[in-house]
Amino acid sequence: MASPLKMTCFECGAVNRVPSDKLSAGPKCGTCGARMNDGKVRELDPATLAKAMKNDDVPLLIDFWAPWCGPCRQMAPAFQQAARSLAPQARLAKINTEDHPKVSQKHNIRGIPALLLYQNGREVKRHAGAIPAQMIEALVRNNAKLS
């Protein structure tokens, strides 16, 4: 049996254990039944974000953004494209810094868009500024341990 990987459900916040060889089989949350890694970018609340950053073994790339930010809006389609390309090996999510300013303060975000890559409970890489999908994918592939 493959070693289990911890993944936080973006819908209900439950931490699930998923066998590493089953990531591509479309695992669902054992609590709420939501898909765990379908290649879609999810908007997170601060509690779910904190839990995922702390617990997830699967690489997690967070986009700190705001609706008024032109570069943030410009990068959004590329971020979604990268999420589809990287699934199921990594997950991408967003947090709105305008709705949750304390989260950006806590993570020392000085400018947006800011991308923070987390794996196994620690920050692995940080990038400030809008980048195309290929560079988002390279940021994850070059800095995270993919299953």
Backbone φ and ψ of 16, nearest 5°: -115, 155
Q: Is 122 exposed, middle or buried (0-12, 13-18, 19+ CB in 10 A)?
A: exposed
29 is catalytic: no
Peptide bond into 113 cis (omega under 30): yes
How many alpha carbons fall within 13 Å on the CB side of residue 47? 5
12 is catalytic: no
In the set 12, 29, 32, 69, the catalytic residue is 69
Structure tokens at 37: 């890694």
Backbone φ and ψ of 94, nearest 5°: -130, 155
In the set 9, 29, 32, 72, the catalytic residue is 72
Which are the catalytic amino acids? 69, 72
